[in-house]
Chain A
Amino acid sequence: MKPRALTRLAWRGLTQHRLRSILSGLGIVFGVGAVIAMLSVGEGARREILAEVGRLGITRVSVRAGDLSEETEFDARTLQSPGLTVADARAISEVCPTVASLAPVRERSEQITRANNRAEAAIVATTASFVRTEELVLRQGRFLTDTDLREANRVIVLGHDLAESLFPYEDAVGSRVRVETDWYAVVGVLEPRELSRRGSRLSSRNVNQVAFVPLSVVPEPTGRVDEIAIRIDEADAVRDSARLIESVVTRRHRGANDFELVVPQELIAGYERARFQFNVVVGAVAAISLIVGGIGIMNIMLANVTERIREVGVRRSLGASRNDIVQQFLMEALLLTGSGGLVGIVLGAVASFAVSSYADWPTALSLRAVIAAMALAVGTGVGFGLYPAIQAAHQNPVEALRHE
């Protein structure tokens, strides 16, 4: 049968009982709507985490001095672990050839003052290589240098927002600021960096609000640091390097579990696992709602067939083959589920938009989700429409013509 004529015919069949068709299509509408809404919430979360990882760089690894519980602290003391130190950083760069750059970091929250302007800021004491490790971009001036470190120069590099608040009307570079009681010369200001809306394990530090000083100006007799920021030279090497770094640090800490290794790549893997579980749940919900929707469709199609047995007989007498009758009724089911699917996609998109603006969750509607939802809807149409269509086609034409 000609596709256009077939579609017209099926459409006419559906519009015969408009309300009935709409009601039976609602199951598909809500099923597909729920799938789309859930997939876009999942996709939004995925994109956000990927974007965060992207900002940090997939080759970034961090060793952090852990927040110790009483038990681990006791262990660390018993094992005589020296804690995370500059020596660990040195050992890592010696042992691990894939480390492209690395910077130990000591972080304090202190007050910075410049004339009448003051701000509470994170003072990050680090080395010159932090600019490469963290991929910082300078707007003005320079970053810390090895000389600054060696000579313990009291120089400071300001994050963009911090510089704006301390120096609203003039250039920061060349001026001096006071950190608690010590004076520092501003040598550089960073470019602003886009940050995720919510904090996560990956980007706990807002570099726009940070001031960088040489590690050596904040002396610490134990050599302890809060973090060793590491950049690996190749994405493929990250996992192996992380394992190596972990073993180096563990050995140096004599087996004490007093540090934390943060590997964005593994966070992604962990996230992917969580997403898989989420998808299984979404899939189950989708399957249930589409099965319920499909049963509704089948019910209506069976009613349609029973109601139109005589029409089937007439069409058979006019030259319709069984195949033509199957096509006609199947097309009706497909139109019903297909249009239900389209409406469901719109509904799901609206719902996910509402969720993202009301609950401030990131959502994203991916083409893949739309295609998958549409395929599910159409698949439901075929799956549940086929039996009634075959039933219609196998009516005995002679008896069908006599049917009242």
Chain B
Amino acid sequence: MAAARCRAISTSSRLELLSLLAQAVDIHRVYPRAGHAVSALDGVTLDIECGSFVAVVGRSGSGKSTLLNLLGCLDQPTSGQLLLQGTDTRTLDDTAASRLRNRLIGFLFQSFNLIPQMTVLENVETPLLYSECPESEWRGRAERLLERLGILERSSHRPAELSGGEAQRAALARALVTEPELLLADEPTGNLDSRTGEEVMVLLEELVAEGRTLVLVTHDSNLAERAHRVIELSDGKLVQDRKT
């Protein structure tokens, strides 16, 4: 539903400003490290539109993950402005930022990050614990997603009992359960063999086709080429921003 709203907005040129899901203006992220400061992001300015598929590439330490963490409200820029759906993230307190993250953003990690002692179903339900969604709907929502992603029969299994592809599907179900508009994926196929990696990529592309926004951090130039737009970072600076 949120994605549909996003699509409707993006088709209207008059509401172009509103179609921006994220807007970064000269953002810096500096980490203090043992006496000196390390600049992980150095004056990055970019817009991410609703429904777009953006690949972020660059070498290790170029600032890709830092950018992803900032977009996901897990971190705050040291300076500059980052707007998510028009809201300046620096004005949000922890609770508001957490609620925004819960509602707007779904994360997908290279190592899946499923909670090992919980079943697949419970893992998928976890984001709903922090949402406004009534408890009676949790199971239905989670099971619908697991079914769609083809792992419903694994719902009572623990993450350790899943194959890599299944684990990433479970993680994807968890990322989608709050119906977020923005998916942030950090090397989601990095731990998968090429076939299951491809399956996950197809699923992600399906989601983009449905109107969700995907920011994909990757090393793999082949994957990056499948995006609508490729952003390259080097030493914390944006060195390339091209449409494919």
B135 within 8 A of A: yes
Question: Could you tell me if A319 and B135 are in contact, using CB atoms closer than 8 angstroms?
Answer: no
Contacts of A397 in B (CB 8 A): 74-75
- Expressed in whole angstroms, the minimum distance between the Cβ of B70 and any Cβ of chain A is 10
**Who on chain A is nearest to B178 by CB?**
A319
CB distance from B31 to the nearest CB of A (A): 10
A38 to chain B minimum Cβ distance, whole angstroms, is 39
Whether B117 and A319, one on each chain, are in contact in the complex, defined by CB atoms closer than 8 angstroms, is no
Report yes or no: B135 in contact with A401, Cβ–Cβ below 8 A. Answer: no
Please, what's the 1-or-0 string for B67-108, where 1 marks a CB less than 8 Å from any CB in chain A? 001001011000000000000000000110111011100010
B113 at interface (Cβ–Cβ under 8 A)? Answer: yes
Interface stretch, picked from A4-12, A106-114, A206-214, is A4-12
Minimal beta-carbon separation of B132 from chain A (angstroms): 10
- Let me know if A324 and B98 touch, CB within 8 A: yes
A317 at interface (Cβ–Cβ under 8 A)? yes
Stretch at the interface among B123-131, B139-147, B203-211: B123-131
Closest residue of chain A to B72 (Cβ to Cβ) is A317
Q: Which stretch from A251-259, A308-316, A373-381 is at the chain B interface?
A: A308-316
Point out the residue from B75, B101, B113 that lies within 8 Å of A319, measured CB to CB. Answer: B101
Q: Are A1 and B135 in contact (CB under 8 A)?
A: no
Contact of B135 among A4, A9, A310, A315 (CB under 8 A): A4
Chain A residue at minimum C-beta to C-beta distance from B113:
A314
**Which residue of A12, A310, A323, A398 contacts B75 across the interface (Cβ within 8 Å)?**
A398
Q: Does A60 interact with chain B (Cβ within 8 Å)?
A: no
A282-323 contacts to B, CB under 8 A, are 310-311, 313-323
B126 touching A315, Cβ below 8 Å = yes
Please give, as numbers and ranges, the residues of chain B lying within 8 Å of A320 by CB-CB distance: 98, 102, 129-130
B17 within 8 A of A: no
Contact of B117 among A16, A314, A316, A401 (CB under 8 A): A16
A319 touches B94 (CB 8 A): no
Tell me if B4 is interfacial: C-beta within 8 Å of chain A. no
Contacts of A315 in B (CB 8 A): 115, 126, 130
Interface size class of B (residues with CB under 8 A): 20 to 34
Q: What residues on B are CB-neighbors of A324 within 8 Å? A: 98, 129-130
A2 near B127 with CB under 8 A, answer: no
Chain A, range 1-38, C-beta contacts under 8 Å to B? 1-2, 4-5, 9, 12, 16
Which of B99, B101, B102, B113 makes the CB contact (< 8 A) with A310?
Answer: B113
- Given the interface contacts A2-B129, A5-B135, A314-B115, does A319 sit within 8 Å of B74 by beta carbon? no
Instruction: Specify which chain A residues have a CB less than 8 angstroms from the CB of B75 in the assembled complex.
Output: 397-398
> What A residues does B102 contact at CB under 8 A?
318-320
Shortest distance in angstroms between A401's beta carbon and chain B's nearest beta carbon?
Answer: 7
Q: Which of B103, B130, B135 has the most CB of A within 10 A?
A: B130
Q: Once bound together, how far apart are the Cα atoms of A323 and B130, in whole Å?
A: 11
Q: How far is the CA of A1 from the CA of B174 in the complex (A)?
A: 18
Q: How far apart sit A314 and B109, CA to CA, in the bound complex (Å)?
A: 10
* Alpha-carbon distance A12/B101, docked complex (angstroms): 25
A314 CA to B178 CA in the complex, in Å?
15
CB distance from B188 to the nearest CB of A (A): 14
What is the bound-complex CA distance between A318 and B72, given in angstroms?
Answer: 10
Q: For the complex, count residues of A whose C-beta is within 8 A of B.
A: 24
Contact with A along B147-162 (1 / 0, CB 8 A): 0000000000000000
Q: How far is the CB of A310 from chain B (nearest CB, A)?
A: 7
* Known interface pairs A311-B115, A317-B107; A322-B130 also in contact (CB < 8 Å): no
Q: Which one of B113, B115, B126, B174 contacts A401 once the chains associate, using CB atoms below 8 Å? A: B113
Whether A318 pairs with B69 at a CB distance below 8 angstroms is no
| Chain B residues whose C-beta falls within 8 Å of the C-beta of A2 in the assembled complex | 129, 135
B2 within 8 A of A: no
Whether A318 pairs with B135 at a CB distance below 8 angstroms is: no
Taking A16-B117, A317-B74, A397-B74 as contacts, is the C-beta distance between A322 and B94 under 8 angstroms?
A: yes
Give the contacting residue for B109; candidates A5, A9, A16, A401; CB below 8 A.
A401
The 8 Å CB contact of B107, one of A12, A310, A318, is A318
Question: B126: which A residues are within 8 A, CB to CB?
Answer: 315, 318
Distance to closest chain B CB from A305 (angstroms):
15
B118 within 8 A of A: yes
B217 to chain A, nearest CB (A): 14
Residues of B within 8 A of A401 (CB): 74, 109, 113
- What is the minimal beta-carbon distance from B168 to any residue of chain A, in angstroms? 14
Task: Flag if B99 contacts A319 (CB, 8 Å).
Answer: yes
Give the chain A neighbours of B118 by CB distance below 8 A: 12
A241 → chain B closest CB, angstroms = 67
Known: A2-B135, A12-B117, A398-B75. A319 touches B69 (CB 8 A): no
Partner among B94, B95, B127 whose Cβ is within 8 Å of the Cβ of A318: B127
Closest chain-B Cβ to A280's Cβ sits at a distance in Å of 44
Residues of A within 8 A of B107 (CB): 317-318
Cβ of A397 to closest chain B Cβ, rounded Å: 5
Report the separation of the CA atoms of residues A313 and B98 in the bound assembly, to the nearest whole angstrom.
12
* A321 and B115 contacting across the interface, CB-CB below 8 Å: no
Contact with B along A326-351 (1 / 0, CB 8 A): 00000000000000000000000000
B69 CB contacts on chain A under 8 angstroms: 398
Contact B74 A318 (CB under 8 A): no
Q: What are 12 inter-chain pairs, A to B, with CB distance below 8 A?
A: A2-B135, A311-B115, A316-B74, A317-B72, A317-B113, A318-B102, A319-B99, A320-B102, A321-B97, A323-B95, A398-B75, A401-B74
Binding site for A on B (CB under 8 A): 69, 72, 74-75, 94-95, 97-99, 101-103, 107, 109, 113-115, 117-118, 126-127, 129-131, 135, 174, 178
Given A320-B129, A401-B113, 13 other A-B contacts at CB below 8 A?
A1-B129, A9-B129, A12-B117, A315-B126, A315-B130, A316-B98, A318-B126, A319-B98, A319-B99, A319-B102, A319-B103, A319-B131, A324-B129
Q: Which 6 A-B pairs have the closest CB atoms?
A: A319-B102, A321-B98, A319-B130, A318-B127, A321-B95, A397-B74
